Structure 1
Amino acid sequence: MAPFISTLLFLILVAGGVAPAVSQSSNPSEPTCYDWGESSEGAVSVMEGEAGWLSCPLFSHPSVYNYTSSQSAGHNLVWYRVPEGHDVEQPIPYNRKVNSSRLSRDRDRLLLEPATAADTGQYICMLRNKSSCSQIAMQLKVLRPDDVVRSLECEPPVAMAASEVIIPFQEGKVLDCPDLEEARKMAEGEPTVTWYHVKLGGSRCDQYPFLASNREQRGPSLHIHIMYEFYQGVYFCTVDYRRRGKALNFTRSINVSAVYPTALPKLPSILHPGKDQVVTVKQDTEVRLVCVGLFPYLNSPRDIWWTVDGKKLDKLGDPRFNNSDREVKYDHGDRTLESVLVIKDFQSEDLNREYNCSVRNVKGFETRRAHLEEEVSLPSVELGCGLGVTLVLMLLLFVVYHVFWLELLLLYRSWFGTDERHTDDKEYDVYISYARNSEEEQFVLSMLRSVLENELGYSVCIFDRDSLPGGTITDETLSFVARSRRLLVVISPGYASQGSQALLELQAGIDGMARGGHLRVILVQYKPVRRQGWVRELRRARVALALVRWQGDKSKELTSRFWKRLRVELPVRRVSSRGEKEESSKEVALMRLHSQNSTNSQTGLISNTIKDPQKILNSAA
């Protein structure tokens, strides 16, 4: 019977991928021993100072090896130990009759009551009789409290990984401390359990009794009657018991998570793409189709996948198609999964294929088609270049206009401007008004008059030069103003105090400009004038009149800004040659004879407007 059991165990472990090593003893009378190597269940961890035990892995298959039947068949279980840093197996001595022994054996388990740091190493359990032998090894790690990572100082150190428990909202569950039943088998009397709770993301450890009334300890178990979100977290349970007169204990942990109630709908659904959503694609590029599915909590498998023309990608046989899946959200058990279908080197014939995304769990199934539309390609390079050139030209034109606007305006006037000599019967282009016996009188006679007449070709009227002796100043002044197209008023600090006649000329020009519109007044600021020095007529007219500032030596050149700005305000005139100037002077002389009647009538209008010219002169004086 024993050889049959060993052979059956051999077949089961070989089928599971484990190949034993056959150890042949030097003594022919001893049986061959099958060494199954080290257990695949991993190392056993025990906290230093706590009770722990090692269960022989040979009995993990009760249908093959059963402890009771093995004992009945004459098998003997022996434990060996290879201390850490050693290579030689050492038998573990223990005495069932000695209660003070720290290492003892209970059926198929080796008990450590309690464990110490020196117990760390490899342990071998051997099952043998006269005809057969089998052995398997396992690792034991004894951890110190300082070796355990804890989020809070108040947490008890735990050597074993926490078990997972999921509780739906508004439902209840009973928490039993792990390995409590094992302690009951070894304990003398009923063990006692103490519960602790660390909230999810919390900063303190709560010991039972808890504040909430929906959690209650009954005996060693903790009852959660109604699950709430703040009941989540890690629950620690410390088991205290006595064995052979010793007080022993161990601590375990349970990670409790909350999920949405089981009464809610559990059918899966597709969040993306939408029912009428259209995805634009472009040829000869990599196209990515995204599918997002929502899976309500169920303790069962779930799946999300793409099909192309009704076939999954593994059956499609086209290497251009592949996909990747990932979890994008976890919300109290509800999982949102994303599946991305990648199509490399997308072609026009791929538009005619059918792309479906599907989701499924044990409660249902849903599928949705992705609608593709080819993107209309725009000449982006051409549009970008054209827009760039347009912006550069606009910026260039703006800069040119901002810097050379006077030159451009003069050029436009020279091409398209109308010569006012052909549209009116005026005798003079410019009448210059200024304060006599002052510094600006020299400026007017030597600079302003000379440039206007000799360089720019304007006909200029200056009262002191062009008036006839014996005439009345008021009538002569009004007559000259009426026969001029522009009134050039030279402003300086002495204009108001020394220019009584100048004030009469200014008033006549403003009235003529207001009534007929055939006369325009231009202000030339020879020197800066404080606002208090502006007479009432100038203050009123300053808002609407053009003001050209003389800037000393900078304005002497004919190409300066002063002369350009002044030419913009003066009538359109081209620079004439000397012959044209002589002919023009003859025409002016003839025009004076023909325009005398119309001038007298205009003078009468201005005289009527200025009801008392002598009063203006007297008040100015």
Structure 2
Amino acid sequence: MMMMMMLQIILLLTESVLVSSYALNSTVQCERPDAKTTRRVRAGESLYLPCPNLQCYEETENRLHVWFRNLSRTKQVEQIGTEGSERVHYHQSALYILWLNLNDTGRYITRWWYAEDECDEFETEVVVYEEFSTDLLYHTMPEQKVSGIYCPVCEYQQGSIVWYKVCLGGCCFLFWQNFALIPNQEFARVLRIPNSSKESEGIYTCVCTWEHHGIKHNSSGSRRLIIKEQTISSPPKFLLPINNSVVFADVGSEVILNCSVFFGLTVCDRCSIRWEKNGIRPSGLNGYEQKYRRMDGTIQSVLTITEVSESDLRSEFACKAEDSVEVIFVSVTLKSRASVFCVILACICTFLVLLLVGGVLKWFALDLVLFLRQIFVKLYRKEDGKLYDAYVIYQKNNLDEMTSKTVSDFVSGSLLTVLESYYGFKLFIHGRDDLPGEDCINLIETEIQLSRRLIIILTPGASTDKSNVSPEAYDLQVGLHQALVQGETGVILIQLGQMQDYTHLPLGLQHLLCKNSPLLWRDGESSPNSRFWKRVRYQMPVASSCQKSSRSRSLKASFQCQGLLV
């Protein structure tokens, strides 16, 4: 027993000698980190204050620790002793302040000698409060879900722990005796909170009871718990700008790029947006300024380029939006306004080309339709039981000599030559294809029913005498009935010469003229490839190949000799 006491005395004497030796060595300048710690404590409790640096606290072998204090009331730095009987003393890397009072408020400095001429200094500010205050809280815990609360004191000490709770919104936490004891939580360094909810909110305080030289001391620490409502986050949605958009600017001018992203109406702590130039934030560079604004779930970022350079025109600007789940971005490029002329010129050229192509297609549309119709209709053509491709109706009587000659030349000449002889259509012409002595009335009805089209030739000054029952008057009545009432036969209207009006024609024929304009034939249009005959062929059915092949070959040579076939 005596030997143990002798050893302790020797160690204390050795430590005091070393402390005096190192403390008086004022020529050594200790390194001091910028970071400082603060401990807020309550009067009447005791404080166990370890060196704030973990290496300083744990490495005590062959190391020396000296504690100093600079109290707020004295403004003087004084060395703290190592006597365990003193209220304020230290042992190696830990400082003891027993039964705290308001005068203990001040700065406490740990000087750690890890070599004879090398040392570090760590500063801790201690603030003593007379009674419990919210300033004593270690930190607030805003959580959506929490499973437990860790006691912030007695981390390096052995002691018993009890837990207290006080509700939020009340003033009862101003008095220590109003804290409610949480049962069955003795010795629990972590207070478990199963199924946390809004009722779990409050201030939780752990009181640690520890012994020093056989005397019990208390240290307490408090945390505030706030349960946040769970929110459903929505992915970021860009309002501005449009992806791959182009902003026109002049070199040397100022440009403002706006970016606006909607993150939803819920609180988003990790939501942010930023502008980047070629993957680098330009806000730290000269000539670039970036500002932010939050409003109603939307974050806006405005990038101002004071002077656009050639490098900006060759760069890609991206606005990136980030939340807790993903990062998305849109791209914007700057282009010189001089390039607008090229864009306009390209648009004009494209418009002219489209206009030219449209004009060509419109001009040759008739030829294309006739060509394709010959291919597809012949492949899928079905027999309809018709004998003639068209029934020709024209007026022979009540015409002047010149008009009568024009009609006769057109019907007997151009019509038969082009449609029948060249293109192989089979026409029925009254007076040519009927036999003498046949019943005209029955013949007309039968032949019109056997025809696929009606070709009605209109002549200037022609009239229809209702008292006249000539074949051309009757076949017109039958043909109009077949076309208008039964709808079985198509009608092709051909007009010879100019006509001022059509009031002299039958009402049925006037109705057809209102629906379809007649094809105007001019004297001299005898070429089979003229536009007039193409329009006639467009309204005619497709001629059978056997008819055309037998007659067209003999006619082509004749038209070529006359210079009518191109």
User: TM-score, structure 2 length as denominator?
Assistant: 0.42
TM-score by length of 1: 0.39
